[in-house]
Amino acid sequence: MRPGRIENENRSDSLETKHQLHAKQVVQSLDFSKYDGIVCVSGDGILVEWVVNGLLQSQDWDTAIKMPLGVVPAGTGNGMAKSLLDSVGHPCTVPNAVLAIIRGRNRKLGVAIITQGEFRFFSGLVADIDIESEKYI
């Protein structure tokens, strides 16, 4: 697929979450080989559930963490989308987020993973820092 153009042979699946931790359940059962990327249309809450509770804790997490993830701001807190769009000089709007995804603009995000026995612990900068820190600027 060329950036900016959606070809007819492309396929997409959509999911509307029905309850708390539904996104986690879905992502942990995904066959990542069937997808080129994931777009999350939500606020930070579903994004954290999807990424932290889902992708990083899935059985195939080595593959899962390499999956491109698009973020479209559609929640109460949109700190991650705001951070990503600010980094390329664009305001945090739905059209700007969708265009960035279509154009294939990628940003790597760091997550520290500590494994102890059967448990994995994750750490990274939380997007809420953006939202909460604005109160004091």
- Among this protein's residues, is 13 annotated catalytic? no
CA dihedral 106, 90, 128, 107 (to 10 degrees): 10
Taking alpha carbons only, the member of 77, 65, 75, 74 closest to residue 109 is 65
Residues 20-49: tens digit of each pLDDT: 888 888 888 888 888 888 898 998 888 888
In a domain, 75, yes or no: yes
16 is a domain residue = no
Strands 112-116 vs 119-123: parallel, antiparallel or unpaired: antiparallel
Q: Which of 44, 62, 86, 128 is catalytic?
A: 44
Instruction: Choose between 124 and 97: higher pLDDT.
Output: 97
Question: What CATH number does residue 112 fall under?
Answer: 3.40.50.10330
2 domain residue, yes or no = no
Taking the model in full, what pTM does it have?
0.73
How much is the pLDDT for 90? Answer: 92
- Whole domain around residue 36: which residue ranges? 22-136
74 belongs to a structural domain: yes
**What does the pLDDT read at residue 98?**
94
60 falls within a domain: yes
The answer to whether residue 15 sits within a structural domain is no
Q: Is 29 part of any domain?
A: yes
Structural domain total, the chain: 1
- Look at residue 13 and tell me if it is in a domain: no
* Residue entry with tokens 């509307």: 16
